[in-house]
Structure 1
């Protein structure tokens, strides 16, 4: 006889209502959250396809989120300084322990096989649920190493005193779930089903998982020569070949990746649709404060990021072999087109709120005071850097409507899979594959090929040089997409940001007049957007000048601790070895 978790028939009715509302609002393709009813699922929940789909939608919403705003603070993308003892065993920072969400997913996996929904519908639903469970477990393993594997929906009567599984056992479990998903999902969901997990998404996530498994993070004694790299290469080649055969690829226009939906680079998206679900970008906190409301300071680019973009010929700023001259006073000129697609600088066109011709200013007494980066406004501050972010911003929205941005969040895009394929190819002796991927990405970006067709890349690179080139290219290609910190950590390169000071670009003068010499005519010209970037003088200035000024990223951050409150609840949990315990989170 099928086990019943609960007998609350009211819950079934409410779930049906929520699912019906999704359809009635014309947003049946939006995997939106349904009510978290304390007593559901009730008896019969898994006998009705509509309530099953609504329950599955809840599982999606418990797993996939929107843009990772301010994730770049942990690395060299945006402005905050990570302090000493940012993470402790008791403060909850960087703790990922989603067992309540996993229980919700496990209920579906456990109950659906005996439910009365059509048998033909069950495999794809179970496959999506297992993908979501794998996603949670993968994230936990990346944070903490091996964790307890819970396959059944535990109740209060069950023995909850579980021990941690090894990291290898967890990776095997994750791949088991993903292999089931791959075998039981359609190649590609489109139309009203767009946003659902399909085979393309499952293959792509498997490649991501196995790239991490092979990485130095989990193999410190043999970081780039271990056998897991071949496994990662095989999975990512399978993924990229499948994507190529099914109409995926690099989108021609970089900006359109984030501002249009359903395109060929989009493998898995969290679908947003105003007013049902909006502001996944967190645009209200990313815009300049003068054109938003209630929040600011999100994804503020720092000078290190601006310097990381190559020139238009693919050579780095200041490289004597570049055909373009670089000068800090005209730092925006002749750069990789992704520079202007992502960053906004003083005097640059940024037509927010539908204001044609609007230019963004950052100089004290020229800019709106809430946008300025200058000593007398607020002192040097990580919340102003002299740069703003354009990526994923709906410039047409007025401040009153800024929270209605409904651009989809692209959780997995083709370029990431291409990077994963290139990286694993390079580590398995196929550097030519990696170099071609780099060239393809740079060509799409609009970088000039050069006489040798290398798009500014060095000819004859070693495996180590290709590894660095991939890491650098991904830094700028996927900036503010939640990749950079995790890539540095995965490669055991946190030393590159440990002790780092962060800088911004301060506008010091306009037409040779300092902020305290600005005239009413100067302000009037600013109000009419007449000042151009080259009319100003710039200086690179440190953001933080009081208190802790440098980043703290000790080696023990390669694995985060299990929180003491979790150990107090379950004494069988071992703490990680760098945090006072004995558990080895590596493979």
Structure 2
């Protein structure tokens, strides 16, 4: 790379970190003053287009578009309270998904194609930039193809087969593109990732961190193949009969080789990340500090790909425990029960008929594993993840009276007054759990344990030794739920695992959380008792294994609606 292009890339990296302040050039109407040619006339002009492609594509499922009264996926999964009665999540939790009730990805189906169009526009027009080398243009094209693959993985997981587009469309093009079979979508993602991973670098200098690397592209591929191997797609019959369209929602066979493809992809990601990628699982022997840094520290050595925006009021509003909106998002018992005690055993929590002294609540909370302490702040306690910081003391925290087991502080380990954070899209830990899951399904329990314990031991817990396939499967699934709480995994993991109790306290069924002082709510100090309380009965129907397409799209008679809607 020549020095001129090094300057360009450094500028891009800076803009990526401030992306929420930038105008999205390619969403402007083409006019006499703004055309594709003017946007790509120089590298400086193209910077904003590249930045916008990253921002739009990587924001999937993250509240950056101003959906201030929307929801997080874990509100729908049973892990967190849905918040206030007027939120979008309220109707979806209580009445189920419908073609008109909203979108659990928060972006909406059509916004996927807005982001994909941006990626294609950059890929197709970067060659026009005069002051950029051919080698650098090739890297940009590969980055854009990887971003497209990422959006398609996310769509595949939520919708099954979706329309595949291969270019940016003009208003004169035929836009009537039907859904493609699930296998064709999967094969396209793998092909795109194979192309991009051969072009993008293994590392960027720290100034430019955040752009696509080989590890990131391999993570996209590994995620696609993992979900393809799980029971929802890896089946001869779909979750609901889709007369004549079954190939849109399942792969048409139960094929163990899909687990082999998944494990090879996960291991390839690990090898690249820990080799040329220069990354690694953070494990210094201090599990609270290690997990806190892995999930919260910007630019840490475990994050493969993150959504980088340090000026996002929407992200701050949803996630930062100091804001009133975040206080609608309190921990439910349905998620709390998956955390281990620090000695690796299970904690005993009260049920809905027993009242326990609040001193027991404090004792139990102090005995829980370090990952919990990095993610939550119990009532009447200072936050473990910002020790000694008055900003995160019990006295400084907003006291919302909704029932809830604890206040959520994840992503803000030792953050002090910092409101923003970099949402971790891919952490290396996911590759280890993907490999553990796949090895177990292939009957290779020792290899599964090796991968699982890499993460479990980092959490400060004793090694897992269980080798029974069915029992180990449940342990690995539990590890996913704990390790990746609030990182947009749990909701769709539960669906794609097709867990038997999905309607019995996971996504559907009885959802509970702690209440205090005879159901009057927690106070800053002096709480007397606590017990579990039924919050609501969450809705579940088998049609919700996959999302509905917007009814407006279905009405065009081009896209076939998913079964049951």
- TM score, norm. by length of structure 2: 0.79
Alignment of 1:371 with 2:399, yes or no, is yes
Residue 280 of structure 2 is matched in structure 1 by 249
Provide the rounded CA distance (Å) in 1 between the counterparts of 2:102 and 2:320.
29
> How far apart, CA to CA, are the structure 1 residues paired with 2:102 and 2:477?
29
The within-5 A match list for 1:287-436 is 287=320, 291-292=322-323, 295-318=325-348, 330-350=363-383, 356=390, 359-360=393-394, 371-373=399-401, 381=402, 384-393=403-412, 405-436=419-450
For 1:65-76, list aligned pairs within 5 A. Answer: 65=59, 70-76=72-78
Give the corresponding residue for 1:489.
Answer: 495
Identify the match of residue 145 of structure 2 among 130, 155, 161.
130
Aligned residue for 1:58, secondary structure, equals: helix
Could you tell which deviates more after superposition, 238-247 or 410-419?
238-247
CA distance in 1, matches of 2:383, 2:348: 27
Pairing 1:190–2:205 present: yes
Residue 30 of structure 1, CA deviation? 2.2
Conservation of the 8 A alpha-carbon contact between 2:507 and 2:539: yes
Match of 2:29 among 38, 56, 73: 38
SS at match of 1:43: helix
* Residues 147 and 543 of structure 1: CA distance in aligned 2, closer, same or farther (over 3 Å): same
Indicate the SS of the match to 1:541. strand
Unpaired runs of at least 5, structure 2: 1-6, 64-70, 83-89, 238-252, 284-289, 350-358
- Secondary structure, aligned partner of 2:147: helix
Q: Are residues 121 and 47 of structure 1, via their aligned partners in 2, closer, same or farther at CA, if it must alter by over 3 Å?
A: farther
Deviations 1:83-126 (A, max 9, x none): 45432223343442322222222222223346544211111100
* 1:332-390 CA distance string (max 9 Å, x none): 132211122212112211398986397537xxxxx99x6253xxxxxxx4xx4141012
Alpha-carbon separation, structure 1, partners of 2:325 and 2:348 = 37
The whole-number CA distance in structure 2 between the counterparts of 1:409 and 1:396 is 14
| Inter-partner Cα distance in structure 2 for 1:416 and 1:479 | 12
- Structure 2 Cα separation of the partners of residues 538 and 389 of structure 1: 21
Kept after mapping to 2: 8 A contact 1:300/1:387: yes
User: Partners of 1:280 and 1:354 in 2: how far apart?
Assistant: 27
Superposed CA offset, 1:423-456 (max 9, x none): 1122222221221222221221122x3xxxx3xx
1:396-445 Cα shifts (integer Å, max 9, x gaps): 656xxxxx623222111111111112111222222212212222212211
Aligned counterpart, 2:245: none
Separation in structure 1 between the aligned mates of residue 118 and residue 393 of structure 2, nearest angstrom: 49
Which aligned pairs between 1:386-535 and structure 2 lie closer than 5 A?
A: 386-393=405-412, 405-447=419-461, 449=462, 454=463, 457=464, 459-493=465-499, 494-496=502-504, 497-508=506-517
- Give 1:238's match in structure 2, choosing from 250, 268, 273: 268
Question: Which of 90, 93, 100 is the aligned partner of 1:90?
Answer: 100
The answer to which of 180-189 and 31-40 deviates more is 31-40
Alignment partners' CA distance in 2, 1:572 and 1:312: 54
- 2:304 match: 267
Tell me which residue corresponds to 1:79.
81
- Residues in 1 aligned to 2:435 and 2:376: alpha-carbon distance in whole angstroms: 28
SS of the aligned residue for 2:410 comes to coil
Q: What corresponds to 2:551 in structure 1?
A: 564
CA contact (8 A) 1:505 1:538 kept: no
Residues 268, 286 of structure 1: alpha-carbon distance in 2 compared, 3 angstrom cutoff: closer
CA–CA distance in structure 1, aligned partners of residues 419 and 387 of structure 2: 12
Separation (CA, whole Å) in 1 of partners of 2:16 and 2:155: 28
Contact 2:57 2:116 in 1 (8 A): no
Specify the alignment match of 1:108 in structure 2: 122
Q: Distance in 2 between matches of 1:104 and 1:28?
A: 16
Alignment CA distance shift 1:118-1:259 (3 Å): same
Pick which of 119-128 and 389-398 moved more.
389-398
Q: Secondary structure at the match of 2:58?
A: coil
Asked whether the equivalents of residues 72 and 484 of structure 1 are also in contact (C-alpha less than 8 Å), the reply is yes
In terms of mean alpha carbon deviation, does 492-501 or 246-255 score higher? 492-501
The CA deviation at 1:479 is: 0.8
CA–CA separation in structure 2 for the residues paired with 1:27 and 1:197:
15
**Whole-angstrom CA distance in 2 between matches of 1:159 and 1:515:** 60
Q: How many residues align?
A: 496
Query: 1:460, 1:41 → 2: CA distance?
Result: 61
> Is this contact kept in 1: 2:297–2:413, CA < 8 A?
no
SS at structure 1 position matched to 2:377: strand
Give deviations 1:309-330, integer Å, cap 9, x for gaps.
Answer: 11112122259xxxxxx96563
> Which runs of structure 1 show a deviation greater than 6 angstroms over 4 or more consecutive aligned residues?
351-354
Instruction: With the length of structure 1 as denominator, give the TM-score of the two structures.
Output: 0.76
Q: Which residue of 2 aligns with 1:52?
A: 46
Does the aligned pair in 1 maintain the 2:294–2:303 contact within 8 Å? yes
Equivalent residues of 1:278, 1:406 under 8 A apart: yes
Distance 1:235 1:209 in 2: 10
Tell me the CA shift for residue 168 of structure 1. Answer: 0.8
Relative to structure 1, the CA distance from residue 75 to residue 515 in structure 2 (aligned partners, 3 Å threshold; closer, same or farther) is closer
- Cα gap change, 1:287 to 1:187, in 2 (>3 Å): closer
Distance 1:63 1:122 in 2: 19
Pairing of 1:139-288 with structure 2 (within 5 A): 139-221=154-236, 225-246=255-276, 247-252=278-283, 253-273=290-310, 277-279=311-313, 281-282=315-316, 284-287=317-320
SS in 2 for 1:311: coil
**Displacement, 1:132?**
0.9
* Alpha-carbon distance in 1 for matches of 2:389, 2:475: 39
Which has the larger Rg? 1
Change (3 A) 1:393 1:298: farther
